[in-house]
Structure 1
Amino acid sequence: MKILQLISVYLPLFWFHSASANFSSSNENISYNNLDWINQLENGINQRIDIFRDRLNRILANNISTLSFECRTSLKRLIVNPFETDWSLKMWDSMGHFPHGILSGTFFDPGNYDQCLSISDEIDALPIQGKYCVMEFRLNKTIENRDVSTKMDPNWIEILRFLNKWSHYSGIDNGICLPSQCSDEEIQTIVSKIFMPFDSSVRVRSKLCQDQRNKLSNLPLRAGQWIVLYILLGHIGLVIIGTLIGLFIRSERNCKTILIETLRCFSFVDNTNALFKIKRNKLNDQSETSDSRSPGSERSQLRFVHGLRVFSIYWILIAHVFLFYPMLNVDDRVSPVHSMNRSKEVIGNIFTHLIVNAGLAWSIDRLHDFVDQKARCDEYRGANFPPFTPSVLGSMCLLLLWPKIGDGPLFHSKYLDFIIEPCYRNWWISFIYMTNTIPSKEICNVMHWYLSADFQAFLLLLFGLYWFIGKHRLLTIFYILLMIFTGFIVPIAIVLLGWADAPNPSIFLHPTKQFPMDKVDVFIFGTYNHLIPYFIGAFLGLILSNQRRKVRINRFFRLIIWLILTPLFLALPFSSYSFVGSVEPIHAPLQSAITFGLIRLIWSLSIFWLCYECSRNKAGLIGRFLEAEIFQPLSRLSFTLFLVHILPIWHYLFTIRQTIEISLYNLLFIGFGNAIVSTFLAFLLHNVFERPYSNLLKIWFNNNRRVNRYGREKSNGRRSSMMADNGQFKFYFDQQNIKIQNFFNETTLDGNEDGDRNENQGNKS
């Protein structure tokens, strides 16, 4: 046991000094019971500790006032005789090694965070606890000449230049463990004057210091956290009450009071049953209606959107895993900088372009409802967006309480504040759907920007819907084309007017350039960037809603369209490779703005064609696969999944204890793990926040009646027909919550159609 302790101490100490031990022999059989060998090893370690004894004595002699008595006492015990106590051994053992493979891109060795913080002892009535910090080495910017005369591998020269020029690079980091009696300022003095055996060309500092007292999970709750905790506990209480009512109080007429029905909206069992209830596909079933062009038949032909939504949201989740870099361990000696960039270029670009699906299925279904139900736009707008707000509230509760459940080397307020603090300042902006109008660093949960962008695009779509309902078809088409052109020309105009420079498509992943968040606000989050896909989706809905004129396309032309759009669709992820050809990315703002517009346009047209073919049952195996019934429950979770999927990714990033080797398998493995956790969180959020309030909207609409002079209830005309006719619009908006790829959902249609139809029949009788 003693030899294992000695070896564990020797390894982290080895990097403190460049001298090598001289007490091994290849021809000698080492016996683990040989005390002479153990003593020799201990003497070798003590020789290296002598170096730090001398440095410690100098700093204690020259800077007595800078170190407290407790810090000096515990520090002496740590360095002078590390084998005397268990706590000193554990501290040395908890320290990270100098990273192996720096020239291949490995820059962090975190050490043993948990062992360091578990240290608790005392010396001479002085309590000793472990304090974990990250020690950062930074190289001075000296490597600028590209024509360096050396025999060193050019790729390694490139890595050294990369370490110098990456403006937001944090340096070469090592975890260190020191006594908690030393303050953060004292630890900075220690690492710069004791643990620094290099010259002044290397800068060193300590950061992210944590102990048991100041860990985020041990800090008292803030006022905002108490508020969201009460909100969360209140909803959990309502879910428990509603579930008990659903289990023990049956739906007899004498028990159907407003209070009982309201509480039952929160029933976890009922909401889960509705979530997993499968609506059978009735593509060829004419028993429900004799007109194949009726709304029911049309809706059944649009079930491919469920599959499209599921693939979209999980693809985005995997993309976010690839975009966030935890502690890296890159095993690549050939041009590591470029390979690190290209390994994630495919996923990164697809994430950038998949957002174009936002308006497609939305408009398909919305235009049908407007035409068939004669709904008023103000009622439609009011019924459509309130169900979004509870899910936003639930995701905000999880985000604000997240610091209380996390723990790790990087789980520090320095990193988490940029995520959490905006929620305390700008939480209200998320509820008015204006988050994309403020800087991204001020957004509470950056995923909310898309909800705001879609809401604003929907307001623009209302003009076209008014004209469409008013039979002004040509004006509607002109307006849609104008919006598509606006989405293409506005980013270009911003560049031409000199207001901002569009980043090239690879800048978001380029290893030598900082992520341009200021440009993301302008060229990604802005609503005008998404007018192209949104109104191409509206145009698709316009075509599909024209029931009198069926568009017939020759089989030959259909084949030509497939042959043209499919290669373009698949080539889009690689379209920005021309920007990655050198260490310095191409700076061509105008070309980049045009590229962004073309990419969104081509991707939107490809999805447009896929949706159109699926709606006409001409997509073959693709359409049948997307209409698979298994996608329906996951599709209903897509909105909440989009809101919460970033939280498990952040949690993994900031609580990780070891480096990650960059490989497709590892990142996919992490991605699928995050997908499972995110789906579970989305399921809980759906049943606690989203579905109950959708049920409440249903009750509110059903009870919005007026009583005539004879004391009998009378339907309120247009609203009653809109909400109760065949169960199509009555509670249809409870699951209009995709908010990332396709804002189309049939939760009520699928989950409650039978119950709604029976209730409507009872009302009619």
Structure 2
Amino acid sequence: MDLITVNPANAFDNILYRQVLDSQQCEKQLTFLSSNALATLFVDASGKIPNGIMSGNLIDYGDYHQCLGINNSINGMMIAGKHCTLKIPFLQNDLSLFNISSNDSSITSFIRSLVSGVNLLQEYKTLLNTTFLGEPALTVGICIPKVCSVSQVAEYITKGLGVSVNDSQVRVSSFCRLPQDKPSSVYDYISMCWLSIILLLTLLATCYDLFTQYKSTSGNTLITSFSLTKNVQRIFAFKKSNNYIECIDGIRALSMLWVILGHTYVGIFLLPLHNVVGILEWVQCSMSCLINAASLSVDTFLLLSGLFCIYSIPNNVTSERYVASLHLFYLHRLIRIMPLLASVVLLQSTVFHWISDGPHWTVMGNAVETCRVRWWSTLLQIQNYVKPVEICLPQSWYLSMDTQLVFISPVISYWLLGTKLKAICALILALSLTLSSVIISSYTNNYPANILNPMRMSEYKKYFEDYYINTVTRATPFVVGMTCGYMIRTLRMRPADHTYTVSKPILFLLWILSLTCLSLSTVMLHLAMSSTRNDQSLDNFINAFVRPAWATAVGFIIFACSQGYGGLINKFLSLPLWKVPSRISYSVFLIHFPVLMTDMSSATKSVYFSNIAMLYKSVAYITISIILGFILTVVIDGPFSSLQGLLFKGEMNGDRKNRQNIEKVSEWKKKIK
């Protein structure tokens, strides 16, 4: 049993919150403010009853920064502001909780209308009362003196109004913020040291590299691995290789852009929303088709991962030699992903926490604390099975699933390096097992077909844990990728005088089928969001067959382009335009969600959802993520990739020397005989 839990409040200074409380000073300051104009600052900075409640706007934070900016010394009292966010669940709509004793009929009428008006939201209960969005609650920010607690202020105000409340039955949660309430942690010091080391190495290596260039001498390769100039040049060096599949650059880059676009729209649920009901209407219109199908980009990346597992194996490697070098295969994978992943986890745990602030910053606080508690499951690549709803870097579950598939891929790859019969049998068996597992899971559990279907949000947790991030149910595209990689690798190994051609009618038919499959997959995921459809069979069909079909269609495009049958599509996907985004895609993938979360956590008031506003946000997030991804690639990913190359070069040289020594010993023994 996992006893470690994530408490977002730990990201803030709870000791400071307790130290500033003083009940006597609070009573004194409240009495003073009740007859002083300074009280208008507190009232003005506090939230009011939100407008647009029937549209789903349940939040009014007030003016967070104005509240924390209050700092006045009057009559020997230091009166400073503290912003508190109150959450009042709607389920307590019983007027018997309120003992209304006020003679002011307007107060009585106001309380009754507020409480009873909540019942009008029952029409949208399915949308609002979900595991993902939490229990529907009115969220209001209030500004109070920092020496006061919320309960003490509430008691003071209700007494003045002549209204008493049964505290034992009313459910109200609160969280208060003060200026400079983010304490430094051990993670901050680790992050500072790590970043300082990286920057120092980059600076020294760059100076060394520039000096060697000035002297026209060859520098030490190990040192220049961290050179800024070398790594920038490496990103922009477009050297053609006969064995490189150029179209993959375009596919990878476009898929990465699709991921960010999809996360921008999904991330809207991280915002304090003004028109939640409007989102329900938008997801069912044709404009949302690409967004609803954005999760297919995951299957594209799984396809590419499976393809490279087999395609990257050199032609002269046999099954026995492959098994003998498995330790290098696993080591290569870990060294490839770990330095950058660990660095971004560290950034999320520390640096991003200090970038901004606001009344909604508890969302970032939750992300920060999750990384501080769950970093180990992220680095061990098991977070899709260990507390999957508490994931450090929400998008990095894909890395865990992909790594798990890569680690078990040698079971298939071994047979693919043998005879054709063994290879075909291995692929058929792997495809049958993975496809049957997802079919059984889909038709047995009746999952929704989309991760954020507003009409089935109560099933989000089950669908997310048991299907969406489950390696078993998502493995088919990976195996399809291995099949595609095997076919391309086999053709790569054929003698130069052995050529083959595909007739134009068959090629045309395959292209039509592939493009039709891609289009239908996108449309079907969009149709699954309809609120008027009650047929579960479409969801089951999508979960069981659409993702493998999508991977098969993309796999055909890669195969056709690699064999010279891509035409204009190959030319488009092979444009130099895609090379740089493709090379930094791993960094962009890791950094884009912290970028997105930083902006959305900085919200100071409810945000009105509109398609054009989200498109502008998407462009901003893509731009910033590409810039930061480029920097991370240059200073972390690039240098460690170079070090990895040097390491494996030494390993391979060592293996080559061992083989030469064995051959010499064998020849010497023969001579002795």
Give the TM-score band, short-chain normalised: 0.7 to 0.9
Specify the alignment match of 1:18 in structure 2: none
Matches of 1:661 and 1:612, distance apart in 2:
44
Q: How does 1:473-488 map to 2 (within 5 A)?
A: 473-488=420-435
Deviates more, 1:227-236 or 1:387-396: 227-236
CA contact under 8 A between 1:103 and 1:159: conserved in structure 2?
Answer: no
Specify the alignment match of 2:52 in structure 1: 101
Specify the alignment match of 1:174 in structure 2: 140
Say if 2:28 is the partner of 1:73.
yes
CA contact under 8 A between 1:364 and 1:545: conserved in structure 2?
Answer: no
CA contact under 8 A between 1:139 and 1:203: conserved in structure 2?
Answer: no
Say if 2:188 is the partner of 1:240.
no
Specify the alignment match of 1:602 in structure 2: 549
Matches of 1:172 and 1:551, distance apart in 2:
68
Matches of 1:248 and 1:475, distance apart in 2:
55
Say if 2:281 is the partner of 1:339.
yes
Count of aligned pairs:
599
Match of 2:91 among 140, 145, 154: 140
User: Given the superposition, is the C-alpha separation of residues 194 and 233 from structure 1 closer, same or farther in structure 2, using an over 3 Å criterion?
Assistant: farther
Say if 2:174 is the partner of 1:207.
yes
Shift of 1:629: 0.3
Specify the alignment match of 2:61 in structure 1: 110
SS in 1 for 2:85: strand
SS in 2 for 1:604: helix
Say if 2:182 is the partner of 1:230.
no
SS in 1 for 2:641: helix
Shift of 1:369: 3.8
Specify the alignment match of 1:423 in structure 2: 371
Say if 2:454 is the partner of 1:510.
yes
Match of 1:273 among 233, 245, 250: 233
Matches of 2:160 and 2:659, distance apart in 1:
80
Matches of 1:92 and 1:323, distance apart in 2:
35
Say if 2:256 is the partner of 1:313.
yes
Shift of 1:275: 1.3
Shift of 1:669: 0.7
**Aligned partner of 1:236: which letter?**
L
- Say which structure, 1 or 2, has more relative contact order (CA 8 Å, 6+ apart): 2
Q: How does 1:304-453 map to 2 (within 5 A)?
A: 304-324=247-267, 325=269, 326-330=271-275, 336=278, 338-342=280-284, 346-374=289-317, 376=322, 377-378=325-326, 379-401=328-350, 402-412=352-362, 415-416=363-364, 418-453=366-401
Shift of 1:465: 2.0
User: Given the superposition, is the C-alpha separation of residues 460 and 142 from structure 1 closer, same or farther in structure 2, using an over 3 Å criterion?
Assistant: same
Specify the alignment match of 1:249 in structure 2: 212
CA contact under 8 A between 1:141 and 1:165: conserved in structure 2?
Answer: no
CA contact under 8 A between 1:71 and 1:182: conserved in structure 2?
Answer: yes
Shift of 1:234: 1.3
SS in 1 for 2:174: strand
User: Given the superposition, is the C-alpha separation of residues 193 and 312 from structure 1 closer, same or farther in structure 2, using an over 3 Å criterion?
Assistant: farther
User: Given the superposition, is the C-alpha separation of residues 482 and 75 from structure 1 closer, same or farther in structure 2, using an over 3 Å criterion?
Assistant: farther
Matches of 1:575 and 1:196, distance apart in 2:
58
Specify the alignment match of 2:512 in structure 1: 563
Unaligned runs of 5+ in 2: 1-20, 95-118, 662-673
**Aligned partner of 1:503: which letter?**
Y
**Aligned partner of 2:281: which letter?**
S
Unaligned runs of 5+ in 1: 1-65, 144-154, 282-295, 708-713, 721-765
User: Given the superposition, is the C-alpha separation of residues 396 and 165 from structure 1 closer, same or farther in structure 2, using an over 3 Å criterion?
Assistant: closer
Match of 1:532 among 460, 476, 491: 476
Shift of 1:392: 0.8
Say if 2:463 is the partner of 1:519.
yes
User: Given the superposition, is the C-alpha separation of residues 237 and 597 from structure 1 closer, same or farther in structure 2, using an over 3 Å criterion?
Assistant: same
Matches of 1:506 and 1:518, distance apart in 2:
12
The two structures have a TM-score, normalised by structure 2, of: 0.80
**Aligned partner of 2:65: which letter?**
D
Shift of 1:395: 0.7
CA RMSD of aligned residues (A): 3.5
CA deviation string 1:625-652 (max 9, x = no partner): 1111021111111111111111011111
Shift of 1:490: 1.9
Shift of 1:108: 1.9
User: Given the superposition, is the C-alpha separation of residues 191 and 386 from structure 1 closer, same or farther in structure 2, using an over 3 Å criterion?
Assistant: farther
Shift of 1:610: 1.7
CA deviation string 1:198-250 (max 9, x = no partner): 99999673523101153x2xx2x222332232122211111111111112233
User: Given the superposition, is the C-alpha separation of residues 197 and 656 from structure 1 closer, same or farther in structure 2, using an over 3 Å criterion?
Assistant: farther
CA contact under 8 A between 2:412 and 2:426: conserved in structure 1?
Answer: yes
Q: How does 1:53-92 map to 2 (within 5 A)?
A: 68-81=23-36, 83=37, 85=38, 88-92=39-43
Deviates more, 1:227-236 or 1:90-99: 90-99
Say if 2:657 is the partner of 1:716.
yes
Matches of 2:630 and 2:257, distance apart in 1:
15
SS in 2 for 1:172: strand
User: Given the superposition, is the C-alpha separation of residues 139 and 698 from structure 1 closer, same or farther in structure 2, using an over 3 Å criterion?
Assistant: closer
Deviates more, 1:113-122 or 1:241-250: 241-250
Matches of 1:649 and 1:196, distance apart in 2:
46
Shift of 1:96: 2.5
Q: How does 1:2-13 map to 2 (within 5 A)?
A: none
Matches of 1:532 and 1:195, distance apart in 2:
65
CA contact under 8 A between 2:46 and 2:143: conserved in structure 1?
Answer: yes
Deviates more, 1:604-613 or 1:363-372: 363-372
SS in 2 for 1:129: strand
SS in 2 for 1:553: coil
Shift of 1:422: 3.8
**Aligned partner of 1:271: which letter?**
N
**Aligned partner of 2:381: which letter?**
Y
User: Given the superposition, is the C-alpha separation of residues 570 and 78 from structure 1 closer, same or farther in structure 2, using an over 3 Å criterion?
Assistant: farther
**Aligned partner of 1:270: which letter?**
K
User: Given the superposition, is the C-alpha separation of residues 670 and 188 from structure 1 closer, same or farther in structure 2, using an over 3 Å criterion?
Assistant: farther
User: Given the superposition, is the C-alpha separation of residues 632 and 254 from structure 1 closer, same or farther in structure 2, using an over 3 Å criterion?
Assistant: closer
Matches of 1:193 and 1:580, distance apart in 2:
50
User: Given the superposition, is the C-alpha separation of residues 702 and 253 from structure 1 closer, same or farther in structure 2, using an over 3 Å criterion?
Assistant: farther
Shift of 1:515: 6.3
CA contact under 8 A between 2:45 and 2:143: conserved in structure 1?
Answer: yes
Q: Which has the larger radius of gyration?
A: 1
Specify the alignment match of 1:738 in structure 2: none
User: Given the superposition, is the C-alpha separation of residues 191 and 580 from structure 1 closer, same or farther in structure 2, using an over 3 Å criterion?
Assistant: farther
CA deviation string 1:28-63 (max 9, x = no partner): xxxxxxxxxxxxxxxxxxxxxxxxxxxxxxxxxxxx
Specify the alignment match of 2:641 in structure 1: 694
**Aligned partner of 1:387: which letter?**
R
CA contact under 8 A between 2:22 and 2:147: conserved in structure 1?
Answer: no
Matches of 1:306 and 1:164, distance apart in 2:
41
Matches of 1:117 and 1:459, distance apart in 2:
51
